[in-house]
Amino acid sequence: MRILIVEDEKKVAAFIKKGLEEETYAVDIASDGEEGLHLGEQNPYDLIILDLMLPKINGLDILSRLRSQKIDTPILLLTAKDSVDDKVEGLNQGADDYLTKPFAFSELLARIRVLLRRGKAETKTTLEIADLTLDLVSHKVNRGNEEIELTGKEYSLLEYFMRNQEKVLTRTMIAEHVWDYNFDTFTNVIDVYVNHLRKKIDKNFPAKLLHTLRGVGYVMKV
């Protein structure tokens, strides 16, 4: 899943980005409101973490403009403002949750997981296809009785495939959801990672789950 952090405090943004990438999320950072609004309008994020006090365009204006464009991406406000009125104003503008600074990363992560589940009307913690299972909490992957070791990026890629079973996923779609916006789309990195993933989840099993549609993309299906 891909998350946008709109935060002008570089240390805070870097801290959140590092923690989320360790949890296998793809993360983009915008350091001012103008850049944050542009990225939020142009990219299909699964979640936006939005500071209120930003240069150029403040967080509430970003929130209002995104919602006016019918962009319903879950938005978590992250700010030093902690009065009830501030919280009510943010929620009334269309925010989905509110967390004040300073905060514990474990709480931020828990709130992110709740919003991502809510956004997809999802309560389950395991994804399954045939005998392949992915635990969204422990990040363990098994095929039958065999546990499969994946790198962080391989896990993110597999999760994206398993959330979109039977759907054809183009390389552009994969890049938008699994990599950040600095990704060079002219490389063959996606194909390399898909091949690595296929070897791990399919090579030693009779039923193949990850299929290539030449010239189009990939699909995960039984």
Question: Model confidence over 3-58: pLDDT tens digits?
Answer: 999 999 999 999 999 999 988 899 999 999 999 999 999 998 999 999 999 999 99
- Backbone torsions φ then ψ of 45, nearest 5 degrees: -75, 150
Q: Is the pLDDT of residue 121 over 50?
A: no
Q: What's the whole-number mean pLDDT along residues 108-130?
A: 81
Kindly state the tokens that stand for 140.
């363990």
Residues 196-206 have pLDDT tens digits of 999 999 998 99
Q: Which pLDDT score is estimated for 83? A: 66
Q: How far is CA 183 from the centre of its chain?
A: 15
| The one-letter amino acid at 50 | L
DSSP alpha helix (H) spans, the chain: 10-22, 33-42, 59-68, 84-92, 105-119, 152-163, 171-178, 189-201
Please state at what angle helix 152-163 crosses helix 171-178, rounded to 10 degrees.
120
pTM above 0.85, yes or no: no
Per-residue pLDDT, 120: 57
Task: Compute and round to an integer the Cα radius of gyration of the chain.
Answer: 19
- Assign 142 a pLDDT band (cuts: 50, 70, 90): very high
119: confidence class by pLDDT, cuts 50, 70, 90: low
Label residue 117 by pLDDT band (50, 70, 90): confident
pLDDT in tens, 60-100: 999 999 999 999 999 999 888 666 777 788 888 899 999 98
- Structure confidence by residue, pLDDT tens digits, 145-187: 999 999 999 999 999 999 999 999 999 889 888 887 777 777 8
Instruction: Report all structural domains of the chain as residue ranges with CATH numbers, in order of start.
Output: 2-119 (3.40.50.2300), 126-220 (1.10.10.10)
